[in-house]
Structure formats: C-alpha cells, structure tokens
C-alpha cells in the first residue's frame, strides 16, 4: 500500500474514533442531569485520554451541544442538544416521513393504513393508503376527516398517551360528542388505561362492524404523543397471529423514523 493510502486510512480511522467518542460523550451527559460530569470522569467512562476528551468537548461546545456546568470543570448538555430533544415534527413533515411506510404496511398486510394527527380535541386523518375503496373508513370523509379523541383506535391511542390532567380535560370537553355517538365514557376511561399499559390498541369491530385494526402511538422528542398509525382490515381476514406481526412491524417503522 502506498504512503498516501496509508495516511488516508489512518485519517479516516481517526475521524471515526473522534465521531464515536463525541457520540459517547453526548450519551453520558444526557444521563447525568444538569449537574454535569467532570472531565476526568468522562475520560474514564469513554476510556480515552483527558486531552482527547477535552478536544471533543470543545468541538461539541462550538455547536452548542455541550456547555459548562455551574460547577467549574464539569460539563453538561448544551442548549442545542436540548432543543433537538424537544423538537416536534409538524404534520406536513410527518406526512412526508410516513408516506412510503403507510404504503408498505398496506401492501404487506393487504390492509389500509392511516396516519392521524391530534388537533385540539380531535384527531385528523392526514394521510392514508387504501387497499379496497369499497371498505368503510371511519369518519366518512377519509383524508382530512376529523374524529373526536377517543373515537376509533388511532384517536384512542393518542388520547391514552396524554398526561392525566390533559386527558381529563379532553374527556370532559368531548362528553357531549361522545353522547351523540352513543359512547360509554366510563368504558372509554377504562379502555384508555388498558391501551396505555399495552402500548397499542387492538380491537375487533371496535367502531365499524366487520372492521378491525391495530394502532400505535408516535412519540415526539419531548416525550409527548401527537400522532398515531393505524392498520385496518376486515375482521374475518385478521388473525391474532397477523395482528401481532402488524404491531411488531408498525413499532419497527416508528423506531426507524424516530
């Protein structure tokens, strides 16, 4: 191997090592809280020399990803890293993000797939992939259709994953609409607890007779839930085994796109 190639390979290895160290430092600082960690402790945790760790910290500080803690000589996550964690994806971004995955879910399971987004007291169908136009769609309007939170699997998943005070406020505000839809509010509250504990909603003939489905929540960077994915198909064509596969596949897409 020529001297130039050896030098290039060495430089590439050094860049890779530096990048890996920076990623490790961010992970360590994320777990320590606002009090931060000392340089020596960080060097010990990533198994590197203090001087090398210090260079990595300086680079991260230039981009606002790391900052000095209140106690001198300690480091913590910077404002840029915290802002990344709190960032929410807007509905248009989410539609672009999920479009191909909705189609993949629909084709793989010969089902219809829906993306729902919270809007105040409602959930809106912002995108969908329909395999059979003859099958009914909850909300009748299809794309753009609004459902009161708690009505249908996707909107139930979103409501189930709101904080308790927010959830109670939504239930109270939507109660007249639930009555119009002949919904049992007591049963709905019990369902919300089960859905939250399970991490998804799977019901047969939940609202539309002959239609069943599975829905999982999509989490924001700040830990809130504003959206959900639902896969639906005729009840007679959805076995428990396939339902389990659908849960796993939606979860894998959520993890991939997070």
pLDDT value of position 89: 78
Q: pTM for this one?
A: 0.68
pLDDT value of position 87: 64
pLDDT value of position 252: 95
pLDDT value of position 12: 46
Partner residues linked to 77 by β-bridges: 66
pLDDT value of position 18: 79
pLDDT value of position 139: 63
Residues of the chain whose pLDDT is less than 70? 1-16, 82-88, 139-141
């Amino acid at each position: 191997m020529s001297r130039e190639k050896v030098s290039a390979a060495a430089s590439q290895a050094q860049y890779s090592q530096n990048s890996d160290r920076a990623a490790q430092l961010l992970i360590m600082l994320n777990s320590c809280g606002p009090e931060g960690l000392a340089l020596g402790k960080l060097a010990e945790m990533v198994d590197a020399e203090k001087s090398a760790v210090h260079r990595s910290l300086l680079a991260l500080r230039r981009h606002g990803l790391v900052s000095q803690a209140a106690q001198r000589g300690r480091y913590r996550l910077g404002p840029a890293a915290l802002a990344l964690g709190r960032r929410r994806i807007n509905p248009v971004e989410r539609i672009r993000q999920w479009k191909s995955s909705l189609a993949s879910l629909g084709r793989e399971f010969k089902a219809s797939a829906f993306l729902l987004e919270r809007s105040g007291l409602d959930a809106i169908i912002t995108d969908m992939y329909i395999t059979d136009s003859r099958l009914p769609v909850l909300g009748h309007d299809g794309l753009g259709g609004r459902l009161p939170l708690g009505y249908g699997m996707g909107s139930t998943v979103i409501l189930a994953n709101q904080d308790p005070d927010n959830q109670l406020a939504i239930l109270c505000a939507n109660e007249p609409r639930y009555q119009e839809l002949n919904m049992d509010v007591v049963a709905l509250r019990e369902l919300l607890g089960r859905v939250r504990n399970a991490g998804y909603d799977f019901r047969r003939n939940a609202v539309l007779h002959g239609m069943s489905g599975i829905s999982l929540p999509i989490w924001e960077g700040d830990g809130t839930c504003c959206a959900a994915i639902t896969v639906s198909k005729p009840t007679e064509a959805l076995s428990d085994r396939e339902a389990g596969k659908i849960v796993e596949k939606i979860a894998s897409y959520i993890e991939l796109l997070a």
